[in-house]
Chains A and B, each alone.
Chain A
Amino acid sequence: MNELQDLYREVILDHNRSPRNFGELDDADRIVEGVNPLCGDKMTLYLKLDGDKVEDVRFTGTGCAISVASSSLMTERIKGATTTESLELFERIHDMLAAPDFDVATANADLEKLAALSGVREYPTRVKCASLAWHALKNALTGSEAKVTTE
């Protein structure tokens, strides 16, 4: 039960229950769809850029608590950030979720609320749930593909 509480931290449960920035964005200039074929989860990420800045970001979709919370936390964090900062964040989150040598203790300092996603490290089958939104973000910013999957 304790380990489960490490995965399902209050922040995660809260963002799952009431996801922030949920809904479509009418004047988005980047729309990227993300799917996790393993569990059928789908999310769509809407980005509105103002020069180098993420002016607005929203998402829609269905998914497990980890994937919904990760999307919600991500949008909250990158709204107002620069694209460079957002891409750096992508790398940092990527490491936090899966890199073997990542020092979780350092995560709280810069990642703040996002550090709650570090519980996923102990659940390899769930890393894809947490990373789906981030892959969608990366694609939205680098413009490689309009559709991402975690496979």
Chain B
Amino acid sequence: MITSMSPSKPRGRDLITDIASLRGDFPVLQQQVRGRPLAYLDSAASAQRPQAVIDAMVAQDSHNHANVHRGVHELSERSTDAYEGARTKLRRFVNAESTDEIIFTSGTTESINLVAASLGTQILAPEDEVLVTRMEHHSNIVPWQLICERTGAKVVPAPITKEGELDLDGFRRCLTKRTKIVAITHVSNALGTINPIKELIALAHDVGALVLVDGAQAAAHLPIDVQDLDCDFYALSGHKMFGPTGTGILYGKATLLDSMPPYKSGGEMILTVSFEGTRFNTLPHKFEAGTPNITGVVGLGAAVDYLSAIDPDALADHEHELLDYATDAIKEIPGARLIGTASSKAGVVSFLIDPIHAHDLGTIVDREGVAIRTGHHCAMPVMEFFGIAATARASFALYNNRDDIESLLKGIRIAQEIFK
């Protein structure tokens, strides 16, 4: 099952390089909001779905739905094939060695909770440390805090710089022989920072720690190769990569997953049950108790197909062009302050326009049909670090264009007019 191909470069197929042509694939974007063309700049919160994903889910529900892994009948077989077929797609997408290493979850949050509860209980002892970073999403902080409370271990935050980059020396200093787990984000949702995770993983492994990467913000933008990264766990969410909500995966190295205790229990995850004792199912089913989100997983598989057909370099160019365009324009606005100016960034611009509160800005640009996120972005330690309560955040995906940014700039001008 080993593949040496990069997941983003399937052979024998021409990859799509005309990124601008993809916008038409997203029905939700073909509408007016408040009388203006919708400028959807909130993909970091949740991305939109292409018709192909919608169609795949409708087809599953219209023709194939049945429970998986249990029936001998035709529909159950079709559903099982579709569900397990999606697992194969996800394996290829992150370049895992085996489909046993792909656990379907409800998303990044559940994936992290799974590792925290299962592995955390197994390996954490008093005085041990879980190293996170100060730029983590709450979902990569709180599960660790809870498990540390129960095990007596401690969550340690690695520092960040005023540019919003990880402080590498600080990170190194935090790594000690007490560090048992390192949980880091691939891309920061609040700042856009792309972390040098391959390097961080190697540093963590040097002290014998296991590494979980929060890939929620990476999957729609960067090629992921878990073998090349050598991460122990990788979590992602379907809805941030053009798939449905309630889906996601946990990738874990098979040897680790094998030795970890189950996280949820019930049907599907067992081989035999008796009151004398229960034998757990093999991977990946051991971690998938209960009837899964079958239609959602089929949709996630379709999202992977969609993304895998796109040339990753062209995608990166497109998003960087938008990022630079928006960054340069916002920087020029009187009173503007950019939060997160890392040298390596994904398509996220977090900003403030003094003296306008982000929340007011969000309401005003919404009247121009512009959807942005305002608030703390579930990253309150980041806000605290910058001494602010909230930012406005525009985030870009493959379907955005300069017109979207122009609408945002127009909305900002109107806000400035109101608050002048």
Residues on A with beta carbons closer than 8 Å to the beta carbon of B360: 8, 64-66
**Is B414 in contact with A125, judged by CB distance below 8 angstroms?**
no
Interface check A41, CB cutoff 8 A: yes
**Is A13 in contact with B419, judged by CB distance below 8 angstroms?**
yes
Q: If the complex has contacts A4-B414, A62-B389, are A41 and B367 also in contact, measured as CB distance less than 8 A?
A: no
Nearest-CB residue, chain A, relative to B414: A1
A3 CA to B35 CA, complexed, in Å: 13
**Is A39 in contact with B363, judged by CB distance below 8 angstroms?**
no
Residues on A with beta carbons closer than 8 Å to the beta carbon of B418: 4-5, 8, 13
**Is A39 in contact with B358, judged by CB distance below 8 angstroms?**
yes
Interface check A117, CB cutoff 8 A: no
A1 CA to B383 CA, complexed, in Å: 31
Nearest-CB residue, chain B, relative to A8: B418
**Is A40 in contact with B376, judged by CB distance below 8 angstroms?**
yes
Contact with A along B369-394 (1 / 0, CB 8 A): 00000111000100100000110000
Contact with A along B396-420 (1 / 0, CB 8 A): 0000000000000000001000110
Contact with B along A64-76 (1 / 0, CB 8 A): 1110000000000
Q: How large is the interface on B (under 10, 10 to 19, 20 to 34, 35 or more residues)?
A: 10 to 19
Contacting A at CB under 8 A, from B349-364, are: 355-360, 363-364
Q: If the complex has contacts A13-B418, A13-B419, A65-B419, are A41 and B359 also in contact, measured as CB distance less than 8 A?
A: yes
Nearest-CB residue, chain B, relative to A2: B367
Q: If the complex has contacts A39-B389, A40-B389, are A63 and B357 also in contact, measured as CB distance less than 8 A?
A: yes
- Among B355, B364, B374, B414, the residue within 8 A (CB) of A39 is B374
Nearest-CB residue, chain B, relative to A126: B363
Interface check A42, CB cutoff 8 A: yes
Return A27 CB to nearest CB of chain B, in Å: 28
**Is A39 in contact with B390, judged by CB distance below 8 angstroms?**
yes
A7 CA to B419 CA, complexed, in Å: 12
**Is B359 in contact with A64, judged by CB distance below 8 angstroms?**
yes
**Is A39 in contact with B375, judged by CB distance below 8 angstroms?**
yes
Q: If the complex has contacts A39-B389, A42-B389, are A125 and B375 also in contact, measured as CB distance less than 8 A?
A: no
Contacting B at CB under 8 A, from A99-136, are: 123, 125-126, 129
Return A60 CB to nearest CB of chain B, in Å: 13
**Is A40 in contact with B380, judged by CB distance below 8 angstroms?**
yes
A62 CA to B358 CA, complexed, in Å: 12
Interface check A38, CB cutoff 8 A: yes
Residues on B with beta carbons closer than 8 Å to the beta carbon of A66: 359-360
Q: List 10 A-B contacts (CB under 8 A).
A: A4-B367, A4-B418, A38-B375, A39-B375, A40-B375, A41-B389, A62-B389, A63-B389, A65-B356, A65-B360
Which A residues lie at the B interface, using CB under 8 A?
1, 3-5, 7-8, 13, 17, 38-42, 62-66, 123, 125-126, 129
Which B residues lie at the A interface, using CB under 8 A?
355-360, 363-364, 367, 374-376, 380, 383, 389-390, 414, 418-419
| Beyond A42-B389, A63-B359, 8 extra complex contacts between A and B, CB < 8 Å | A3-B367, A39-B359, A39-B375, A62-B389, A63-B389, A64-B359, A65-B356, A126-B363
